[in-house]
Amino acid sequence: MAEFYLGADTGGTGVKYVITDGDGNVVFQGEVPTDPRSGKKTLARLAMEVAEKIAPPTDSDRPVFSNLAAVGMACAGIVDPVSGHLGRSPNLPGWEDTNLKSMLANEFSEKPVVVVNDVNGALYGEYRFGSGRGCEHLVMIALGTGVGGGVLLNGHLLVGSHNGAAEIGHMVLDPSGPICTCGGVGCLEAWAGSVAIVKQARLLARVELKDTALSQLVTEKGEELTTRDLSLLARKGDAASLALFAEVGHRLGYAVGNLVNILDPDKVIIGGGVALAGELILGPCRAMVPQLVLADEAKNVPVVPAELGPLASAVGAACLARESLAIS
Ligand SMILES: [Zn+2]
């Protein structure tokens, strides 16, 4: 009988999922809407859709999933991979303080379940199938709405004593810097998350750069302004937009330099939607890193874009589910 593995990635609006075969090849992929108030309802929806794809028909009211070997789920927030407890999770208020493992096991016929923080899931996906292939020590920084992080050492994800490790977005770069969404001041996220970048663009357009291409763009897009709009303007050579991304890269470079001094990884992977700005950010970041790194051999650590895109966390969760069976 075919053995399938489910990998899912729960975000604030949708659960992206992949179903893989035993070698990790994706055979189905899809997305179901998230109910941010109810994990149970969302996972029931997911189970129903997965059943349509792979579960053999039964007489029972509920699918049996006899050909599903294991389930992996990545979730934004503080996830305890051992107990399955989900703590703080700002985009999923109704899921906080619930047990993801037991909810998943309940929906998926008590199959073995693995849970992981979403950026850790993405890092694991990149490690197995993306830009981290062949490495054993990796750092990932995910530049999304906020900034997430992940660390892999000797092929193992670092979670720390309280599942709070690798919150790279809240590394303080300047105690007199901008206010962060976490309530702190001068965190990496306060420069390099998309909310911060768009906020900074609006501020520049209003105060210093009236009647420029940047201010026209800000006015034209209004509330819809995205970092992609800004990166398109920068690619046309607009000096203010280029400087905006260079500042993001520069700050990111400080974070990467600090992390390389602590962890000495084989590679640093930059993912998330903001990273689609590519060299606009990575160029200035790479220029900064060697100035901060102490060990000569580590100065030119590759700082590379992620390869797997939006499915990285789901792919990583499926890999972790598959490998958990091999070691148990
Ligand atoms: Zn912060």
- What are 259-271's pLDDT values in tens digits? 999 999 999 999 9
What token pair was written down for 328? 């148990």
- 295 burial level (CB within 10 Å; 0-12, 13-18, 19+): exposed
Strand 147-153 versus strand 156-157 pairing type: antiparallel
Residues 78, 165 within the same domain: no
Residues 87, 151 within the same domain: no
Regions in the chain scoring below 70 on pLDDT: 1-2, 327-328
Residues 298, 151 within the same domain: yes
Distance 245 CA to ligand 1 centre (A): 19
Distance 95 CA to ligand 1 centre (A): 22
| Structural domain boundaries enclosing 88 | 4-124+310-327
CA atoms within 13 A of residue 19's CA, in its CB half-sphere = 21
Inside any domain, residue 110: yes
pLDDT for res 99:
96
Inside any domain, residue 281: yes
Residues 156, 234 within the same domain: yes
- 188 burial level (CB within 10 Å; 0-12, 13-18, 19+): buried
Closest CA to 72 of 98, 46, 96: 46
Residues 101, 235 within the same domain: no
CB atoms near residue 113 (< 10 Å): 22
Look at the chain and report how many structural domains it folds into. 2
Distance 169 CA to ligand 1 centre (A): 6
Residues 116, 149 within the same domain: no
Distance 181 CA to ligand 1 centre (A): 6
Distance 251 CA to ligand 1 centre (A): 14
Residues 302, 317 within the same domain: no
- Say whether 38 sits in a helix, a strand or coil: coil
Residues 153, 274 within the same domain: yes
Query: Whole-model pTM?
Result: 0.94
Residues 117, 145 within the same domain: no
Residues 153, 114 within the same domain: no
Residues 161, 302 within the same domain: yes
Distance 158 CA to ligand 1 centre (A): 20
What token pair was written down for 272? 């998330």
Backbone angles phi, psi at 84, to 5 degrees: 90, 0
Distance 171 CA to ligand 1 centre (A): 7
pLDDT for res 63:
78
Distance 178 CA to ligand 1 centre (A): 10
Q: How far apart are CA 52 and CA 57, in angstroms?
A: 9
Residues 288, 141 within the same domain: yes
Distance 164 CA to ligand 1 centre (A): 13
Inside any domain, residue 130: no
Inside any domain, residue 58: yes
